[in-house]
Structure 1
Amino acid sequence: MKKFLSVIATMLTLTLMMSTVAFAANDTDDSVVYNGRSFKATELSQETLDWLEWYNGLSDDLKEMVSHEPLELASPTPCTTTTTVDATALDIDIPMPLETSLLPTSGYEPVYNPDYWNKDENIRRANCYAYAMDVLKTTEGKLQPGDPSGKRYTSLTKSAIEKAVKADGPYLGSGREITNSSKNATPGKNQYKVALVIAPNSDYHWYVQNRDGYWSHKQGYLKVSNVDASGKKITDPQSCDRNYGSGLNYSTFCGYYLVKYTNR
């Protein structure tokens, strides 16, 4: 009888061990979901998993604001192509800014025209990057730095994004040239100024100076705006309120850049 009970106990122990191993294997192979697509957690870096945990914890409204997408989560058929189009090449006379606190302008800046960008057929064809480059995608989606050139950024850092954006230049609309700039530099002919900021480990964001001297931006799929997180008009993206909460605090100011239309 004792021998029989010992055999039963051994079998139960082995069964429990096998179940534990199977559970661990299944746990290791757990899938994670991003925008309706499923990924194996074991095939993603810890950096991407951490970002995905943060992103999936956001409300739907906040998810709409985010432009960054880790390369590992990119669609196998990217929603971005080289067939972007000029969006606001408007020839409108805009009075030069009178406010002395505004940064220098050239008169070639994109016009602040929220009605155009916020149209139903346009609003999901541009995020902050497309808006800053003054282009619209031909399809819905958030334009990622490096996708038009096939040299997408691989990390959420200034150097990686800057390199990708400069490579994109010839593929954006009718052609762009992106160079580093200083705050008080005056743009030249066919040039205007943009600025890059980063919410560490979460998102990047771009601002663009308009022809009236103020700055505007487009957060992901949200509407174009010329006010900061406190609702104040933006005179300088470096000093404006960039903290939107829930990890969307764009505390890292990366610098100013000049965008030049190369084929106008």
Structure 2
Amino acid sequence: MTERIRADPSQLLPMDSDTGGLGYRGFIVRAEDTGMADDWKRLGLPSMVRLGGAFQPEAAESSRFLLHTAESARLDLKDPGPVLAQAEATIIDSRNVQGLVTICYPNAQTSDTDFSFWNGASYQPYNNCYNFASNYRTNTFAQPGRAAGSMYTSIDCSAVGSAAVRDGWLTACRSDANYNVCLVIWPGYDYHWYRLCLNNHWCHKPGGTAARNYDNSGLLITNPETCNRGGYTIFCGYYNGFGLVVS
């Protein structure tokens, strides 16, 4: 976070600034450790500042970064999902309403061969393709829309895709390189997500089974649109969803 602030200190606001009244008003950021406090002092910043808010679109990307890298357990909320989803929507809207391009997560990629984070006996059965696509292990068998309080109601591209968008996934990014997950449908039966990993290989985790980098033919997945997907015959499209909070 300090690197983002150092690059553009103007995205910060004083604690007493007007950020739009009720609703999402940005984050309060405090420099607590010695190194961070020293950096802020050199930048001429106070120890506590406000970042983001509906009237500060230039801070949208840093706000979104902070939103999805913060530890949810530190939020004093019984169920942070709906609150996070609302904050996400407001951050996006603060850019969109001013005619600016929609921001996206950077195309952060993980190993296309090491799936130890997903395939341990204590969590493999409890995380699915949506968890894997989000790169967020919840042990809840995450479902599109549940974090936002509004799950999908049918198995089709529109319903499942819209539910993911409610969770904060995006369909418009700065460049195609930011589209790092895709949705496919087994008509009337099931949905499935793939995620782009290193070396231009797409990986996935079918339900509670092991995460992998190969398709139904045992071949490395270089193109999810043309690989052997079994019964998932409908290709819905690409999204940007890496690192989202899902439930």
Percent identity for Structure 1 against Structure 2: 34
8 A Cα contact 1:123 1:222, kept in partner:
yes
Structure 2 gap ranges (5+)? 1-78, 83-105
8 A Cα contact 1:179 1:259, kept in partner:
no
Q: CA deviation at 1:120?
A: 1.1
| Match of residue 93 from structure 2 | none
Q: CA deviation at 1:261?
A: 4.9
| Match of residue 3 from structure 2 | none
Separation in structure 1 between the aligned mates of residue 229 and residue 235 of structure 2, nearest angstrom: 10
Q: CA deviation at 1:166?
A: 1.1
Separation in structure 2 between the aligned mates of residue 199 and residue 154 of structure 1, nearest angstrom: 15
Q: CA deviation at 1:185?
A: 1.8
Q: Which of the numbers 188, 195, 206 marks the counterpart of 1:219?
A: 206
TM-score normalized with structure 2 length: 0.52
Aligned residues: 143
CA RMSD of aligned residues (A): 2.7
In the alignment, is residue 197 of structure 1 matched against residue 184 of structure 2? Answer: yes
- Bigger Rg, which one: 1
In the alignment, is residue 185 of structure 1 matched against residue 162 of structure 2? Answer: no
Separation in structure 2 between the aligned mates of residue 262 and residue 251 of structure 1, nearest angstrom: 26
Separation in structure 2 between the aligned mates of residue 107 and residue 135 of structure 1, nearest angstrom: 15
Q: CA deviation at 1:156?
A: 0.7
Separation in structure 2 between the aligned mates of residue 111 and residue 179 of structure 1, nearest angstrom: 24
Q: CA deviation at 1:81?
A: 8.0
Could you tell me which amino acid in structure 2 is paired with residue 185 of structure 1? D
Q: How does 1:1-264 map to 2 (within 5 A)?
A: 82=81, 108-112=108-112, 113-137=114-138, 139=139, 141-169=140-168, 177-180=169-172, 185-187=176-178, 193-243=180-230, 249-259=231-241, 261=243
Could you tell me which amino acid in structure 2 is paired with residue 186 of structure 1? A
Which portions of structure 1, spanning 4 or more consecutive aligned residues, are displaced by more than 3 angstroms?
80-83, 260-263
8 A Cα contact 1:198 1:251, kept in partner:
yes
TM-score normalized with structure 1 length: 0.49
Structure 1 gap ranges (5+)? 1-79, 84-105, 170-176, 244-248
